[in-house]
Amino acid sequence: MDRPRTISILELTSAKITLNCEALERILQKIGNRPLCVISINGKYRQGKSLMLNFFLQYLHAREAQNNANPSNWFKPTEIGRDFNWRGGSSPETSGINIYSEIFEITIGGVPTAILLMDTQGLFDDQTSFAHNATMFAISALLSSVLIMNVMQGISEDMLQFFQYFASIAQITLEEEADNE
């Protein structure tokens, strides 16, 4: 069996969006008929999204080790993994959308539910166009059950306007899909 790792499921270039259907299908087959909760973190680049997902992994592994009981001492700062790549500096690290290949299970309301963690490319770097930022946010919003917006040092009015615009693209996509059914 392969060691759990992050897998790129979506790449966004100036020319096209590429979905890695084969990798996504392999992951989704592990879910079976269980309900699925996709947890995603989105926000500005170089603000700790991938690092936070590694904290989530640490918690979920500790929970798993205690037979799905809430672990009280799960946080071990010296053992933070790098399953979701992260590093210091100002250059972007994550590109596209990555998911963790291991599926976790949590019982919610008596129902076993699959948990999938998803990392997204940071927004608003100096190399990515507004249209690509909007597309990345919209895709992330459409795929997520829980979308966490990572905001450091307060949220400004222009940031709220960006998010409103990005969310409207996701909403339009959903409406178009509903009309096509």
pLDDT of residue 114: 94
* Domain locations along the chain: 6-180
Which of 19-28, 50-59, 69-78, 86-95 comes out lowest in average pLDDT? 86-95
Percent of the chain with pLDDT over 90: 9
Confirm if 112 and 9 have CB atoms less than 8 A apart: no
Q: How far is CA 162 from the centre of its chain?
A: 19
Q: Confidence class of residue 61 from pLDDT cuts 50, 70 and 90?
A: confident
More confident: 35 or 165:
35
pLDDT of residue 116: 93
Q: What is the mean pLDDT of residues 13-23?
A: 80
Structure tokens at 101: 């290949």
What whole-number distance in Å separates Cα of residue 134 and Cα of residue 132? 5
More confident: 56 or 181:
56
Strands 104-108 and 36-43: unpaired
pLDDT of residue 104: 92
Confirm if 138 and 169 have CB atoms less than 8 A apart: yes
Structure tokens at 105: 């299970």
More confident: 158 or 117:
117
pLDDT in tens, 64-123: 887 777 777 787 766 666 677 655 555 555 667 888 888 999 888 899 999 999 988 766
Q: Architecture of domain 6-180 in CATH?
A: 3-Layer(aba) Sandwich (3.40)
pTM of the complete model:
0.75
Percent of the chain with pLDDT over 70: 77
Structure tokens at 85: 């790549």
- The DSSP string of 118-151 is EEEPPBS-TTS-HHHHHHHHHHHHHH-SEEEEE-
Residue 8 has pLDDT above 80, yes or no: yes
3-state DSSP assignment of residue 2:
coil
More confident: 97 or 171:
97
Largest CA distance in the chain: 51
Q: Give me the half-sphere count of Cα atoms (radius 13 Å) on the Cβ side of residue 61.
A: 15
At a CB cut-off of 8 Å and minimum separation 6, what does 25 contact?
A: none
Q: What is the mean pLDDT of residues 22-51?
A: 84
